């Protein structure tokens, strides 16, 4: 299809200006679910709403994509997305999905972010991982690739879901460098608590997939308790670092101090084919590569915070993450 000239665009604009009748702007009709509606049907309906908006290829962001704010503020943006019906990208899709699933109390929703590289270009993607009744996992989201968004509620673990995404990245000639897992979203759309998007950050460059997978699944199991502790004490439990040895805090750049860097552990397999990671000295500045520009946090009213009861220490059983040398 040939490009539209400036003159043709001006002529089309004049026709619109002088048109006596114009169709009403498109609107989205949100699906209505009863308490008996199967969860898979609900998720398909919510994904259909996201797909209806379509992916934003314009290069212009129509909505506030600042993540450093409360869930209440994110819900407000999600409502704007529904009302405006303008194209969105992956982050806005997660905003919308978290809002539309908020009333499903038996559905846990975790933000999962991927940092990948294709050629010399660094890319970032985010989806909403969902787990129903502590059982099967799936995902909601939006992408230019239909393989990097919706996932049916069928995965036995969070690591299995993440591995499937990594495999799809590989098929698109991307190499996944890091995976970030956040705390589960609140079900209270009026919550003034800030959403925490990157609580556990795992580099896949130099770590065995088996070890990384155990970290993902262990975090998914304990996330609710860890979140309650942090809300009560203001910090992660002291045992967090000992339990999640491969975790790289946001303040650190490059590979984790605990990452396994021996030459025989620099290959990661997500499918029958394998791919090589960059040289051991390769480092990427997360902040510089991030395509999302953080704005000012939205002002929040002072609301009474709930009283949370948590033990003085949150103890974990010794991790099995670094035992053995199994390959996936």
The catalytic residue positions are 90, 125, 143
Contact 208, 260 (CB under 8 A): yes
Q: How many CA atoms lie within 13 A of 131 on its CB side?
A: 21
State how far the alpha carbon of 167 is from the alpha carbons of 22, 63, 91, 182, in Å: 46, 31, 21, 21
Q: Say how far apart CA 172 and CA 25 lie, in whole Å.
A: 35
Q: Which of 257, 51, 293 is nearest to 43 (CA)?
A: 51
Question: β-strands 151-155, 137-140: how paired?
Answer: antiparallel
What are the residues facing 151 on neighbouring strands? 139
Contact 265, 277 (CB under 8 A): no
State how far the alpha carbon of 27 is from the alpha carbons of 57, 84, 251, in Å: 20, 8, 43
């Amino acid at each position: 299809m040939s490009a539209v000239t400036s003159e043709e665009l001006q002529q089309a604009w004049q026709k619109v200006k002088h048109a006596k009748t114009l169709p009403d702007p498109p609107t989205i009709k949100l699906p209505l679910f009863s308490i008996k509606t199967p969860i898979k049907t609900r998720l398909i309906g919510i994904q259909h709403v996201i797909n209806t908006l379509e992916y934003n290829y314009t290069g212009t962001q129509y909505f506030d994509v600042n993540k450093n704010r409360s869930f209440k503020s994110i819900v407000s943006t999600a409502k704007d997305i529904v009302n405006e019906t303008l194209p969105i990208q992956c982050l806005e899709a997660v905003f919308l999905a978290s809002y539309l699933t908020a009333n499903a109390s038996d559905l846990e929703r975790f933000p999962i972010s991927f940092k990948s590289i294709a050629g010399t270009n660094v890319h970032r993607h985010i989806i909403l991982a969902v787990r129903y009744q502590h059982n099967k996992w799936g995902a909601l989201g939006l992408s230019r690739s239909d393989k990097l968004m919706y996932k049916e509620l069928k995965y036995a673990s969070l690591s299995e879901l993440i591995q499937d995404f990594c495999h799809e990245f590989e098929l698109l000639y991307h190499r996944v460098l890091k995976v970030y897992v956040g705390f589960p979203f609140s079900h209270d759309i009026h919550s003034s608590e800030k959403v925490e998007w990157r609580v556990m950050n795992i580099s896949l460059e130099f770590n065995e997939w088996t070890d990384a997978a155990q970290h993902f699944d262990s975090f998914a199991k304990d996330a609710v308790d860890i979140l309650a502790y942090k809300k009560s004490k203001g910090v992660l439990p002291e045992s967090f670092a000992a339990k999640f040895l491969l975790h790289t805090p946001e303040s650190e750049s490059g590979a984790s101090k605990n990452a396994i860097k021996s030459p025989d552990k620099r290959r990661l397999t997500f499918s029958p084919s394998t791919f090589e990671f960059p040289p051991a000295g390769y480092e990427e500045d997360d902040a510089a590569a991030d395509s999302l520009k953080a704005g000012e946090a939205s002002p929040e009213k002072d609301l009474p915070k709930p009283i949370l009861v948590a033990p003085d220490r949150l103890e974990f059983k010794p991790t099995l993450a670094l035992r053995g040398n199994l390959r996936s």
